[in-house]
Amino acid sequence: MVIGCGVRQFMVRQPAGEIAKRSIRIKDEPVPSIVGGHNAGIINGNEATPWPWQVSIQTSRGEHFCGGSLISTNWVLTAAHCSVQTGYHYVVLGQYDRGSNELVQVKKIAKVITHPIYNTQTDYNDIALLKLSSAVEMTSRISPICLPSSLTNILPGTHCVTTGWGVTENDLNPRFLQQATLPIVSQAQCRRFWGKNTITDAMICAGASGASSCEGDSGGPLMCESSGVWYQLGIVSWGHKSCSTDRPVAYTRVSYFRKWIDEIIRVN
């Protein structure tokens, strides 16, 4: 099956799940999370599997601990702070309902390549690539997301979407994939919240508008749509410890690292 990147396939209907608050990793302590999130795939009242590049990174016991996104047949993009390890962790693709027998693909991880100047204290350069042990079979449920060019500049106020299975307010381990729509925040505004030395050009901010990410879902995508095609603009990195809805969340800016991504894939 030939499927282009960034294409959503609305084919699989799932049983309805409860509306929940989604979450991501935080700087200090775990706090329950996304305020304003809802079940991924509720399109005109029907649940679907509309994010075919979303992956679940799991332990050998099947425990989800980080998200990621499929960017080609052999590569997954995630956050460096997820600390993925070969031999201990696996990538699950094509999953939406973690409590059902879906047609998923489970892949071992052959290589973990973390950005060479990732800083564990500041989360600067919070990006990693996972090379899968074998190629993914593309299906209506599994396909890659497009990456922006290194020159991509998204306007503040643009509404984008973030997804994942992170900790929720009512369910510590949500069964269904969650999503939230967040506006892009300008660098100047984000620096007013977090400080000019905290937010670098390698980050992109979103939120501060009644919805927020919190602990969980690290490594998952922040994605924006253009002419019917979805592009991954950010990687879930960090947010406020109290999950404040009036503070933006920081994501790793994918366009900033596009040349590094291309080079790693080329030589590996």
CA distance 16 to 53: 21
Q: Pick the catalytic residue: 33, 89, 97, 126?
A: 126
Q: Indicate if 81 belongs to the active site.
A: yes
Query: Do residues 28 and 244 lie in contact, with contact meaning Cβ atoms separated by under 8 Å?
Result: no
Q: Pick the catalytic residue: 81, 89, 115, 240?
A: 81
Q: Indicate if 33 belongs to the active site.
A: no
Q: Please count the CA atoms within 13 angstroms of the CA of 230 that sit on its side-chain side.
A: 24
H or E segment and range at residue 190: helix 187-194
Q: Indicate if 126 belongs to the active site.
A: yes
Dihedral pair phi/psi, residue 194, rounded to 5°: -110, -10
Cα dihedral 64, 85, 268, 126 in deg (nearest 10): 70
Q: Pick the catalytic residue: 212, 218, 237, 255?
A: 218
Catalytic residues: 81, 126, 218
